[in-house]
Structure 1
Amino acid sequence: MNEEKRGLCMNIRYLKNVLRKARKIDDTIQLSLNSAKWEYPEGKVHETQEERCQNVKKKLFEGWLSRDQFLKECQTIVRSQLDQDRNTSKSPLKSQQQLPSSSTTQVSERLDPYAKEVQVQLSPPEEVQIVLQSELSVEQIIRDQTWEVLTNACPGMFKDWRDTYKD
């Protein structure tokens, strides 16, 4: 994979921004479905509700596929970066290094029972990996909500999206 894509996937802000923009189809699904009800000028063929539903579903699945591919590519990049970090470093990764949360001052456990807790520091690839896992969970929630809107607007036309969508 090229270095540009590696840099983009390793940037959490960019990653979230790309996904936010790619989720626009999900955010505007109700508008897309309602556009079939608008009046068309004379001479234009009016799209039926069934055609509109099929077109919206097609666009929806294209958007989902695009996001799936992006997330999978980024996961591959992060995994390879983590493997590379493990192979090049004989010392433990940052996630295995534990730092006391109050390293500068000693506080009595009576005053602060959490003073001796250990904080875990993550390496940048590990942070991105956690964000990617979170975004995959968000994808499932968004798809469930979007599919609910679609099936409410197009009753009886579609099964569960998990049965219909092929990634």
Structure 2
Amino acid sequence: MDSTSESSQPPLHLTPQLCFSTTTLRDFLRLSRSSIDDPISQQLNALVAPAKAGFDPSSTSHRAVQPISRQIDAQSCNEFKDKMLFPSWRARSDVLSYCAIVATSPDPDDPETTLREAEDAKHREIVVNERLDPYSGRFFPKEPRTEQLASLIRQEKGVENIVRSRTWNVVKERCGKSAETWEEAFAKWSQGRNSS
């Protein structure tokens, strides 16, 4: 298995610890995007078949500029989408969906619960005289890690939409114009996988 397909695979066991380890979560998303979506033009260039008639020695006597937007045959494009692009998107979607569920679930294992409760109790005991210090009444409690995770997931879903739109525009340009949005194409692929 090549490194491209390995980096697009989700971590084997999705656990809340993966979600709360924001460095690991972001690394997975970054590696997956950088192996498939970021180099999409190079990925598609690799699909362009060399001349079917063989090598023509006279072709080296002059420099011909190849059009960048040359089309790739439909079978190669479909194979790339079905075996590389969409599985990579699915892996990221699965991780983001799982972590979104974790972010909205109760978190009895939050190590900072006791610290937050102590800060809240301490703040309630403080006598505030805002005439002497108008800023003394301000209190910014630390967010629970589920709220921090929910914020991160919203941010990463926004990034994911931008990345997929950009990637899909390049795919449509190189594989033939399509009226489908990336959402429609991905949903159709997902339904085909679920029905088989």
TM-score normalized by the length of structure 2: 0.60
- Structure 1, unaligned runs of 5 or more: 101-105
Aligned mate of 2:96, from 71, 76, 79: 71
Q: Does residue 9 in structure 1 map to residue 49 in structure 2? A: no
Matched residue, 2:185: 164
Matched residue, 2:170: 149
Aligned mate of 2:87, from 62, 85, 88: 62
Identity %: 26
Q: Does residue 25 in structure 1 map to residue 50 in structure 2? A: no
Matched-pair contact (CA < 8 Å) for 1:33–1:52: no
Aligned mate of 1:137, from 127, 144, 158: 158
Matched residue, 2:194: none
How far, CA to CA, are the matches of 1:154 and 1:124 in structure 2?
Answer: 43
Aligned mate of 2:74, from 20, 45, 50: 50
Larger Rg: 2
Matched-pair contact (CA < 8 Å) for 2:102–2:146: no
User: After superposition, what is the alpha-carbon deviation per residue over 1:60-83, rounded to whole angstroms, capped at 9, x for unaligned?
Assistant: 11111111111111122222244x
Matched-pair contact (CA < 8 Å) for 1:6–1:77: yes
- Structure 2, unaligned runs of 5 or more: 1-12, 55-71, 124-128, 191-196
Paired AA for residue 65 in structure 1? R
User: After superposition, what is the alpha-carbon deviation per residue over 1:69-102, rounded to whole angstroms, capped at 9, x for unaligned?
Assistant: 11111122222244x48xxx8x9x77xx6x99xx
How far, CA to CA, are the matches of 1:123 and 1:71 in structure 2?
Answer: 19
Matched-pair contact (CA < 8 Å) for 1:29–1:56: no
Q: How many residues align?
A: 149
Matches within 5 A, 1:97-136: 119-136=140-157
Specify the SS of the correspondent of 1:80.
coil
More off after superposition, 61-70 vs 154-163 = 154-163
How far, CA to CA, are the matches of 1:4 and 1:147 in structure 2?
Answer: 27
Paired AA for residue 28 in structure 1? P
RMSD of aligned alpha carbons? 3.8
Matched-pair contact (CA < 8 Å) for 1:25–1:60: yes
- Larger RCO, structure (CA 8 Å, separation 6 or more): 2
Detail structure 1 runs of 4+ shifted over 4 Å in the superposition. 113-118
TM-score normalized by the length of structure 1: 0.68
